[in-house]
Structure 1
């Protein structure tokens, strides 16, 4: 599995995803500019660790299915439905799995995130980290996460946890992408590593 680190955090009005940009296979750095955060719908996003190609395909297919589902139910598709759609698709491929760990979440009603493993297990949580740098990121998240964070605090915490992973995980590095989902939609930014 290639290395990576991605985190997801709920805050009082939405969710924040952050991931670094490096793709490394063992000691070889393949790319320093790969985006690992994805907008699935205007109210649901995702971040991944593992094979980015698998996540790119998964996000495109789920995004298309979510558009169809939105037309059927005539309202926004909630994050738990998107997570279940991903889970079903990953479980169907269990004998030739999509080698990606996913954090998916968003805001339709209240902010929620879910972690999915390559076989499609769906685990709800307030915050999560996946990838080779997850232990370092969780060290920061476990200590500093609070239920009532605002957007700026949640974004700072997400970036801080990715920075901690980058310092100790050689497979993680090269700038940070941040995706914020709130009632106004999706907003993407980038943080430079200095």
Structure 2
């Protein structure tokens, strides 16, 4: 299983999804500049750890199905609906699983929401989350410093600190950090050095 680190953090106005850029397979670094944060809909995004190709296929399917759902209902698709849709697709593929762990997050009518999914489609809601081989180190930092009243700047700093701590100890993670921020004003993406 390829290694990686991806995190999701809710803050007072939105959701932040972050992932490092390295793609590795065992001891081999396959690529040093891969984007592992994805726009699923206008108000929902995802970050992944594992096989990036599997995640790209999953995001394309869920994005297309979400557009159809939006046309049918004439409303934005909620983050929990996107997470459940991903879960169904991943569970249907359980005998030939999509080898990716996913953090889904977004903001629509309610509060910011984060969900984690494993390769078999289990959906776990949370206020912050980490997946991948560096998740233990990232969660240790987030457990100590997360609070319910973070603003965007503090959430960004927490995501950077948590991924940088995982990069220090996880050889499968590294080479920069991509951050996708989703709030009621829209989306923004930034890249940061390690």
For the aligned pair, the TM-score class normalised by the smaller chain equals over 0.9
Cα deviation, residue 25, structure 1? 0.8
Cα deviation, residue 185, structure 1? 1.4
Matched, 1:41 2:41: yes
Residue 131 of structure 1 corresponds to 132
Residue 151 of structure 1 corresponds to 152
Cα deviation, residue 184, structure 1? 1.3
Residue 82 of structure 1 corresponds to 82
| 3-state SS of 2:112 partner | strand
Residue 27 of structure 1 corresponds to 27
CA distance in 1, matches of 2:191, 2:14: 18
What are the superposed Cα offsets for residues 76-102 of structure 1, whole Å, 9 maximum, x if unpaired?
A: 100000000000000000000000000
Cα deviation, residue 105, structure 1? 1.1
What are the superposed Cα offsets for residues 163-185 of structure 1, whole Å, 9 maximum, x if unpaired?
A: 00001100000000000000111
CA distance in 1, matches of 2:42, 2:14: 12
Per the normalisation by structure 1, the TM-score is 0.99
| Number of residue equivalences | 193
What are the superposed Cα offsets for residues 123-160 of structure 1, whole Å, 9 maximum, x if unpaired?
A: 00000000000000001000000011001111110111
| 3-state SS of 2:175 partner | coil
Residue 166 of structure 2 corresponds to 165
Residue 106 of structure 1 corresponds to 106
CA distance in 1, matches of 2:148, 2:133: 26
CA distance in 2, matches of 1:71, 1:59: 18
Question: Which stretches in structure 1 are left out of the alignment for 5+ residues?
Answer: none
| 3-state SS of 1:173 partner | coil
CA distance in 2, matches of 1:160, 1:4: 15
CA distance in 1, matches of 2:163, 2:190: 14
CA distance in 1, matches of 2:56, 2:149: 32
Matches within 5 A, 1:46-61: 46-61=46-61
CA distance in 2, matches of 1:26, 1:177: 22
Per the normalisation by structure 2, the TM-score is 0.99
